[in-house]
A and B are shown apart, each in its own frame.
Chain A
Amino acid sequence: MSTDPLDHLKSFYDDCRTAPVPESLTSQPVKLPWWLRLSVPIAGLTLGGLLALLLIAMPNQASPGAGADAARALSKLQIDMATHQPAEEGPVPSEPHADTRRGGRQWIG
């Protein structure tokens, strides 16, 4: 005597009625107190505001000093080049490296 296939289906459905539910569907999100939930966006806004202020203020502070230093260095270099004298500071080659065969300058260390 063969059973109706639908009996197997009904048996399967009976098992489904007691099937374990995945943890992802049963776990509850953690509910924080209101003051803690509120503190997160406030801290974010404060930090963001401070960062924005810092970015706005930085170029104004750095540019005058940096510009003056650069101008001084450039004028000194121009003077050195005009007098054909090497700069006071900086590396001085210890051995001749210029091409002396064609009467080029010779540096004596």
Chain B
Amino acid sequence: MQISLAARLNQAIAMRTRAEVDALLRDSRPWLYRLALAITARTEIAEDVVQEALVRAARSRDKLASAAEPRAWLRTVVVRCAITALAKVPAEPQADRPCDADPTEALAVRHTLGRLNPADQAILALAHFEELSYAEIGQALDIPVGTVASRLHAAREAFRKEWRK
């Protein structure tokens, strides 16, 4: 009972104001968009993913206000939205330009990512774009830490295999 009370007290102390949550959502948009772009490799899908994630975050404002790590919470929402969005679209990406220093290389990467399954795309982005630890990846994908290593290995191998096709 005392522990529960202490936990609730901590939660109350950590509770963010409405203005703070609004500022967090506003300031996180560029980062969320770039994360969504790294996962989906398609600008139009990334934009939709962020819009959807922001709507969900606004609906769950209380959870965001009391989240111990709001950035991790938002990341999880975007990853889930991205996986859902990718599952609905055709596997092969269309030719658009998200971010291309070398257009041919960027296009080849997009095509390769587009042939992977959405979960592989997400775990590659979390590991190599976000540069998260296994524990953080496990939290974002809601999988055990022990599973992260094998999933990441499989995703990397899938990428290499598709690249060489």
Contacts and interface: CB of A to CB of B under 8 A. Distances in A.
Interface string A20-49: 111011101000000000000000000000
A11 interface: yes
Interface residues of A, number: 21
B160 A8 contact: no
A5 B34 contact: no
Contacts of A20: 99
A22 B108 contact: no
Contacts of B102: 11
Contacts of B34: 16-17, 19, 21
Task: Classify the interface of chain B: helix, strand, loop or mixed.
Answer: helix
B164 interface: yes
Contacts of A24: 47, 51
Contact of B37 (A5, A16, A26): A16
A71 interface: no
A28 B26 contact: yes
Interface string B90-117: 0000000011111001101110110000
B99 A5 contact: no
Contacts of A11: 101-102, 105, 109
Interface string B12-48: 0000000000000010011001100110010100010
B33 A13 contact: no
* Nearest 6 Cβ contacts at the A-B interface: A19-B99, A5-B163, A15-B99, A12-B109, A13-B129, A16-B38
Given A12-B109, A15-B106, A19-B37, 17 more contacts: A5-B159, A5-B160, A5-B163, A6-B160, A8-B105, A8-B163, A9-B113, A9-B124, A11-B109, A12-B105, A13-B129, A17-B129, A19-B33, A21-B29, A22-B33, A25-B29, A26-B29
Interface of B: 26, 29-30, 33-34, 37-38, 41, 43, 47, 50-51, 98-102, 105-106, 108-110, 112-113, 124-125, 128-129, 156, 159-160, 163-164
